[in-house]
Amino acid sequence: MGEAMGEAMGEAMENSTAAKGAPAPQDDAAAGSAAAAGESTESDGLRASLAQAEENLRTQREQHLRAAAELDNVRKRAQRDIESAHRYALERFAAELLPVRDSLELGVRNGVQTDPQSVLAGQQATLQLLERAFEKFSIKQIEASGQRFDPSLHEAVLMQEAPNAAPNSVLQVVQSGYELNGRLLRPARVVVATAPGAKA
């Protein structure tokens, strides 16, 4: 009888140990639920990141379109300003030339009836009007007489021996040259000195 009781107790202990080592059905369900919750959280995070990236892309696209439109507006405004500046400058120059024309017209109209001295005085006054207009628009006459010949400013029309002048200096200005804001409008046409005996 004692042996039967011992065997029964041993079986009970084995069953108890096995029961302790085996996972309960509730534990398996909990683990599955936790894994599903983890996957759901990761999926939600990815969706949120994607939505944020799409929003950033939309914002960047809008900013790019606004910047492109603003740049185009600036370019158009600059083009209009340049055209306006050219047009306005030409209008101002034309307005400055009108008194010169008036003076010339008056001289021609009265030329027959006036003496040579009056005609000369009228021409000098007209020339002064023109010089003032040139000065306002930075049109400057090139100083050439007595200067060393400079092919970037002068055009030689004749080479002439001149014992009293330095070789390659300007002896005479045939036609005045002009610069506009430092840029050559027309070279001065000049006679250039050569050393005696030099070939022209």
φ/ψ of residue 159, rounded to 5: -105, 135
Q: Report pLDDT digits (tens) over 132-167.
A: 999 998 999 999 999 999 999 999 999 999 888 899
Mean pLDDT of the chain: 82
Task: Give the per-residue pLDDT at 19.
Answer: 46
CA angle 112, 113, 118 (to 5 degrees): 95
Residue pLDDT, tens place only, 18-41? 444 444 445 555 555 656 666 778
What does the block give as tokens for 53?
A: 């990236």
In angstroms, the Cα distances linking 49 to 52, 57, 60 are 5, 12, 16
**d(Cα 48, Cα 53) in Å, to the nearest integer?**
9
pTM: 0.55
Q: How far apart are CA 27 and CA 18, in angstroms?
A: 16
